Chains A and B, each alone.
Chain A
Amino acid sequence: MEIGLSHYLVLSTILFAIGLIGVMRRKNLLLLFFATEILLNSVNVAFAAISHYHGDLTGQMFAFFVIAIAASEVAVGLGLLIVWYKRTGKIDLDMMTTMRG
């Protein structure tokens, strides 16, 4: 049985749906970050698959930049999270209903 592009796209969709369910379910901000990592990874799979089946390197390039963006997002997000935890003692999403510093 031959594995085609549609197999990879379906897999990527399933992973993206799992990530979305996590984003909607989680209230803890650290676990919300985990769910966003799953979203970015599922899109990377789709990029690599399309890049392979069309014989083009552009998809892999985009996947690299997505990984770079994910790394910097984690650095800044965790820094903000640590500051927030120092101030309030909680990292629940419901505490962030106000924009007051």
Chain B
Amino acid sequence: MFEAIAFYLFAILTISMFSIAVLTSQALYALTALAAGMIFISAFFFILGADFLGAVQIIVYTGAVLALYAFGMMFFDTTRDVVEKRTSPMLVFGMGGMAALLIVLIFAAPIVSDNITALYPVQEGVGNAQAVGMVLFTKYLVPFEVAAVMLLVAMIGGIILAGKKMDTSLTLLDEDKSPLSVETNEKAAS
């Protein structure tokens, strides 16, 4: 009973928050609505008994990813309203619905045909974080290390891309010093 109430409450909250994030024309509203939606998503993980995943969701998404977006937004001009594409809403909703239906079929096909067997069943008397650790550091050790290397590469790439020549503005450099695009050259000429 409480599970049903919690599910429907958080479903409505998540859907409304993500709708605001997608449909609003203010970048700051979109960011805050997205952060709220991420926290509400973690509630589903707690309901489903995946405690560790819920904690990781809160820490990584709202702690790291959204903070990174907030820092990134300081570089951009987010005060002006966002211009939207001129596509017909019928096309957008039709294609979105069809693609979502396809996702459901992809998920539902193995469930309906009962082809799913539990590879690593949940053990009794072990907490979720402990069970996750046991599976992650035995069966999924190599993907875990590869993910660690990938995160390192992404961190170094982000630092190099964003932090390069942070003290000088790229648009104010001389033409022969930096490989600039046509728009910048026009701006420099004007």
Chain A residues within CB distance 8 Å of chain B? 1-3, 5, 7-22, 24-28, 30-31, 33-35, 37-38, 41, 43-46, 48-52, 54-58, 60-61, 63-65, 67-76, 78-83, 85-89, 91-93, 95, 100-101
**Are the C-beta atoms of A22 and B22 separated by less than 8 Å?**
yes
B contact face: mostly helix, strand, loop, or mixed: helix
- Expressed in whole angstroms, the minimum distance between the Cβ of B187 and any Cβ of chain A is 7
- Total of A-B residue pairs, C-beta within 8 Å: 246
Q: Please tell me the size bucket of the interface on B.
A: 35 or more
**Are the C-beta atoms of A79 and B83 separated by less than 8 Å?**
no
Chain B residues within CB distance 8 Å of chain A? 1, 3-4, 7, 11, 14-15, 18-19, 21-23, 27, 30-31, 34, 37-38, 41, 44-45, 48-50, 52-53, 56-57, 60-61, 64-65, 68-69, 72-73, 75-76, 78, 82-85, 87, 92-93, 95-97, 99-101, 103-104, 107-108, 111, 116, 118-122, 131-132, 135-136, 140, 143, 147, 150-151, 153-155, 157-162, 164, 169-171, 179-184, 187
**Are the C-beta atoms of A75 and B155 separated by less than 8 Å?**
yes
